[in-house]
Amino acid sequence: MDITQLKHQADIYLKQGDFTAAINLYEKCIELVPNLISNYWYLALALLLQGN
C-alpha cells in the first residue's frame, strides 16, 4: 500500500471506531512520511478516542 491508501484505510478504521487498527496505520504513515503533521494529529485523535 502507498501512503495515500494507508491514510485512507486509517481514516476508515477511525470512523468505524477501530482505533487500534487506525493507530497502527497512522504510525506506518508517520514512518513513511515523518514531516506530514496531519498524520500526528490523527494518531493523537485515535489515541485519545481509544482512551490513551
Q: pLDDT by residue (tens digit) across 1-52?
A: 799 999 999 999 999 999 999 999 999 999 999 999 999 999 999 999 999 7
Domain around 34 = 3-50
The pLDDT, as a whole number, for residue 52 is 79
Count of structural domains within the chain: 1
Could you tell me the pTM of the whole model? 0.92
Phi, psi of 2, rounded to the nearest 5 degrees: -90, 175
Non-local (6+) Cβ contacts of 1 within 8 A are: 9
Using the structure block, give the residue that is written with the C-alpha cell 506530514: 36
